[in-house]
Amino acid sequence: MASIQDVAKLAGVSKSTVSLVINNSGYVSEATRQRVEEAIDALQYTPSRLAQGLSRSHSGLIAVIVPDCAHPYFSTLVRSIEQRLATHEYMTIVCSAKENEQTEQWYLQMLGRKIVDGVITAGHTIDLSSYETSARPIVSIDRYITEEIPMVQADHKEAALLAAKKLLEAGVRHVTHFAGTKGIAVQSDVFNETLTELLTAHGVTVQSVPIGHNTFHPEEYQAAARKLFSRQITTDAIVGVDLAVMACMQEANRQHISVPGQLKLLSYDGTSLTRLTTPVLTSVVQPIGKIGETAADLIVQRICGEKITMNRYLLPVTLQPGGTC
Amino acid sequence: MASIQDVAKLAGVSKSTVSLVINNSGYVSEATRQRVEEAIDALQYTPSRLAQGLSRSHSGLIAVIVPDCAHPYFSTLVRSIEQRLATHEYMTIVCSAKENEQTEQWYLQMLGRKIVDGVITAGHTIDLSSYETSARPIVSIDRYITEEIPMVQADHKEAALLAAKKLLEAGVRHVTHFAGTKGIAVQSDVFNETLTELLTAHGVTVQSVPIGHNTFHPEEYQAAARKLFSRQITTDAIVGVDLAVMACMQEANRQHISVPGQLKLLSYDGTSLTRLTTPVLTSVVQPIGKIGETAADLIVQRICGEKITMNRYLLPVTLQPGGTC
């Protein structure tokens, strides 16, 4: 097997120049870089992780913690983070923290061992107390941790405004709101609170129904929808996360309740899924791609020691008209 | 900051014993392990990646290559691989190889640098020629690479049998088949070929329509569906991947074509999505969770140098009756 010495010799440069090229750090002229790369190719040299690690101060790895990487919102988020981090030459370790408590604990333990250069957390269910004392950069999505940790989120207040406007225009009087389970405070609670406030101010009754919304198991949402519909409550509109609203649409169809005639539906996050139903779901759309990219840029800036002046990034939402409200 | 010496001193053991405990390798008595762990906790010692790397021969990282980690099939696959690898104490690096050619090239380059202990590839679009000469263990999902590389897949032949049986029972005469784009040979081609064979043998005409099916951009599927419907071809059934069939159902609804009355729909992979539509999509269901777990177990076995006697793992499929066929 070829060594770094062999490469240096063939390219006619020093070992440290080879190392610079491998680690893409420091100034190396284009001609030299090319010579080194040709030597690497010719000798089929593959630097070991250790050799690389020894010559750079970082692992090139960033962990992304989500509740469930198969959930449409989080899978889209992970994709955008991963693709953006790759442009910064970082790879993404994905950690689904909600599926299994043991796994979650193990992930926290692993991340505590400095395997990664930074952590982007969109995991709203896990205990982050250990993070606050951590020396590694963190960027949070949709959850306030401390003043020092940048937070990226959709503009949930604007989202509530858009949703309320749409519902009021549609003339709804009794809204049922499938809201996330209470527990850890997340920024999306602002959507829930603002929406309730706005609707109530216009004489609309709002009933909140808690629902777990961080895993991608349709059966859970379907069970919640069936339970809601069996309670014979007076409601002419349902608002909730995409999967909950999709399950409600399915249940309404099953019970021959016409949408939007008898029942309006409006969903919030507005993932791609909502555009594959009939009719397309009226949704307030989170800029998931932009959220992921912003978080990725921020974590790299933090790792590189750049000063981050803002600690809160509010990204604009949009209304997808659809045909359910 | 506490060092490994501090931990060793507090626990009253040697540095190498601390290293064994950290890396979970070699024999250490339960009592000693506990003492070391208490010392680690008391001192809030976090071993550096380098310290760990130096004392173990592997990185504890496995890369999973998929075309797009936001695609419902691949996001479910990544979740099952990730969760299973965590039980083996490996973390998962996710690489979406299809979104962006530059990213794909960079990933291949990174993986060539021995950052990971092994690679699970479900990326059917990328050039794997460099893999074949690689020294790192590989497990492939749904694609034959070489005899030495274990391959995990659904039983596509059985899937075709189930689909053909269902379609014939429904009395279809003219099937349009949204099949994946040709190019690299993947095992799921067996589904396409066998289905065509079986249907043709029963006097059913089968028309194949190529469609890209590895990214999660509903618009692409919708455009393909619209194009198909605009061609006024004689067809009474459409078969294809979930997202393509969902897009066809949406287009049929838009054009007031009744499903399953005038048009039968049958999808294959049967991801969770297919259970959230109205009616539920009649689908042949791939055991995605099981595929991921099997691949995860195999890669760990290969990394540990265990002899793998089988090189092809065919996992059983099931029929989800649904209401579209």
Task: Give per-residue pLDDT as tens, A129-148.
Answer: 655 556 678 899 998 888 88
CA B193-B292-B123 angle, to 5 degrees, is 60
Reported as a pLDDT band with limits 50, 70 and 90, residue B176 is very high
Does residue B154 carry a pLDDT above 60? yes
With contact defined as beta carbons under 8 Å apart, do A262 and A236 qualify?
A: yes
Residue A58 CB burial class (10 angstroms; 0-12, 13-18, ≥19): middle
Q: Nearest-CA distance from B201 to chain A in Å?
A: 34
- Gap from A83 CA to chain B (nearest CA, Å): 7
For residues A312 and A144, give the distance between their C-alpha atoms in angstroms, rounded to a whole number: 9
- A79 and B70: CB-CB below 8 Å? yes
Distance of CA B270 to the CA centre of its chain: 14
Model pTM? Answer: 0.83
Contact B92 A87 (CB under 8 A): no
User: For residue B19, what pLDDT is reported?
Assistant: 72
Q: Taking CB atoms and an 8 Å cutoff, what residues of chain A touch B61? A: 61, 93
Beta carbons of B64 and B93 less than 8 angstroms apart? yes
| Contact state of B96 with A79 under an 8 Å Cβ cutoff | yes
Percentage of chain A lying above the pLDDT 90 cut: 47
For the ranges A27-31, A132-136, A214-218, A243-247, which has the lowest average pLDDT?
A132-136
Chain A to chain B Cβ contacts (< 8 Å): 172
Exposure of B256 in the CB half-sphere (CA atoms within 13 A)? 0
Q: Mind telling me how many Å the CA of B50 is from chain A's nearest CA? A: 7
Residue A113 has pLDDT above 60, yes or no: yes
> To the nearest whole number, what is the mean pLDDT of chain A?
85
DSSP at A148: T
Q: Residue A174: is its pLDDT beyond 80?
A: yes
pLDDT digits (tens, 9 = 90+) for B193-232: 999 999 999 999 999 888 765 666 788 889 989 988 888 7
User: Given pLDDT bands bounded at 50, 70 and 90, which one contains residue A77?
Assistant: very high
Q: Do A100 and B94 touch (CB under 8 A)?
A: no
Distance CA A189, CA A224 (A): 20
Q: Which residues of A touch B133 (CB under 8 A)?
A: 44
**Best residue in A3, A45, A65, A79 to probe B by mutation, most B CBs within 10 Å?**
A79
CB atoms A278 and B99 under 8 Å: no
Alpha carbon distance B231, B238 (integer Å): 14
User: In angstroms, rounded to a whole number, what is the distance separating the alpha carbons of residues A232 and A169?
Assistant: 25
Please tell me which of the candidates B86, B93, B218 has its beta carbon nearest to residue A103: B86
Min Cα distance B6 → chain A (Å) is 16
In 3-state terms, chain A is what percent helix, strand and coil (to 5)?
45, 20, 40
* Residues of chain B with C-beta less than 8 angstroms from the C-beta of A89: 106
Mean pLDDT of B50-60: 55
